[in-house]
């Protein structure tokens, strides 16, 4: 693969990403080429690096999100670019965001389980909004009376929040188990020192929260 050829593939990939207006996978990009000129996966990966580098210092950047590669406006220019659009970016209620967070970190999860943790009912509107935005979807039903739907997040959710996978979500804060709490309370009372969460040992809770597909 010579330089000239690479440059051409790079320009085509850039053109395609600009034309698509949505993320494209490596394979989707490769399939733009006829079979006899189709770049190998490694070549295409290298080209994507070149595409990314070529955005250096420009108005846009290459980003890898869950559904593939995407060209997007650099965050630093959002203040100017957003003036193009009359509508202010939508704000989401805390109830919606908390519900979304629970689905993201605890998927698959039922509405009842969300309500248990939040301590209040989840309105149907919130679930509907999340489904309509295609940020969550029903992945099955729990085998308990009423067969409640289990929710999970989608690729669109990840794409929207600039994530390439659930592992990129900010880590959940640690939670101390009850025994530990008991011991710590005792310690605090005795030593009267301010408690700070230094416990280095993994709680095991976090890891289990990160299982996804």
Partner 1 sequence: MSGKEVVDLPNDLYIPPDALAVFLEAFEGPLDLLLYLIRRQNMDILDIDVSEITRQYMEYIGAVEVMRFELAAEYLVMAATLAEIKSRMLLPRHEAEEDDEVDPRAELIRRLQQYERFKKAAEDIDALPRMERETFTVSASLPKLPSNQAHPDVEMRDLLLALQGVLSRADLFTSHHVERERLSTRERMSAILSLLRDDQFVTFQSLFTIEEGRLGVVVTFLATLELVKEQLIEVVQAEVLGQIHVRARAAR
Query: Within positions 59 to 118, which residues make up the interface with a second copy, using CB under 8 A?
Result: 59-60, 71, 73-74, 77, 80-81, 83-84
Q: Which of partner 1, a second copy, none lies near 122, with the C-beta cut-off 5 to 8 A by kind?
A: none
CA atoms within 13 A on the CB side of 2: 1
Cβ nearer to partner 1, comparing 35 with 179: 179
Examine residue 112 and tell whether it contacts partner 1 (CB under 8 A).
no
Contact 60, 51 (CB under 8 A): no
Selected from 28, 67, 131, 161, the binder of partner 1 by CB under 8 A is 161
Cβ nearer to a second copy, comparing 80 with 195: 80
Determine the 3-state secondary structure of 6 from DSSP. helix
Examine residue 12 and tell whether it contacts a second copy (CB under 8 A).
yes
Selected from 173, 198, 207, 211, the binder of partner 1 by CB under 8 A is 173
Examine residue 7 and tell whether it contacts partner 1 (CB under 8 A).
no
Nearest to 85, CA basis, from 97, 94, 93, 73: 73
66 contact partners, CB below 8 Å, separation of at least 6: 23, 155, 158, 159, 163, 164, 165
> Rule CB under 8 A: which of 23-42 touch a second copy?
24, 28, 31-33
Q: How many residues does the chain have?
A: 213
As a whole number of angstroms, the distance between CA 65 and CA 168 comes to: 10
Q: How far is the CB of 73 from a second copy (least distance, A)?
A: 5
Ramachandran bin of 2, using left for φ above 0, alpha for ψ from -120 to 50, beta for the remaining angles: beta
Examine residue 171 and tell whether it contacts partner 1 (CB under 8 A).
yes
Examine residue 8 and tell whether it contacts partner 1 (CB under 8 A).
no
As a whole number of angstroms, the distance between CA 13 and CA 39 comes to: 11
Q: Which residues bind a second copy (CB under 8 A)?
A: 7, 10-21, 24, 28, 31-33, 54, 57-60, 71, 73-74, 77, 80-81, 83-84
């Amino acid at each position: 693969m010579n330089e000239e050829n690479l440059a051409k593939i790079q320009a085509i990939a850039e053109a395609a990403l600009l034309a698509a207006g949505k993320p494209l996978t490596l394979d989707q990009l490769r399939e733009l080429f006829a079979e006899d000129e189709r770049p190998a996966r490694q070549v295409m990966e290298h080209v994507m690096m070149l595409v990314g580098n070529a955005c250096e210092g420009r108005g846009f950047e290459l980003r890898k999100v869950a559904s593939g590669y995407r060209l997007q406006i650099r965050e630093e220019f959002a203040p100017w670019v957003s003036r193009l659009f009359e509508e202010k970016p939508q704000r989401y209620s805390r109830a919606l965001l908390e519900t979304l967070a629970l689905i993201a970190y605890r998927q698959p999860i039922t509405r009842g389980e969300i309500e248990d943790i939040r301590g209040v009912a989840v309105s149907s509107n919130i679930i509907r909004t999340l489904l309509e935005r295609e940020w969550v979807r029903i992945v099955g039903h729990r085998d308990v009376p009423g067969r409640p739907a289990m929710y999970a997040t989608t690729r669109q959710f990840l794409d929207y929040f600039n994530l390439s996978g659930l592992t990129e979500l900010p880590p959940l804060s640690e939670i101390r188990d009850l025994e530990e709490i008991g011991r710590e309370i005792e310690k605090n009372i005795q030593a009267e020192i301010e408690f700070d969460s230094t416990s280095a040992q993994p709680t095991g809770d976090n890891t289990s929260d990160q299982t996804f597909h």
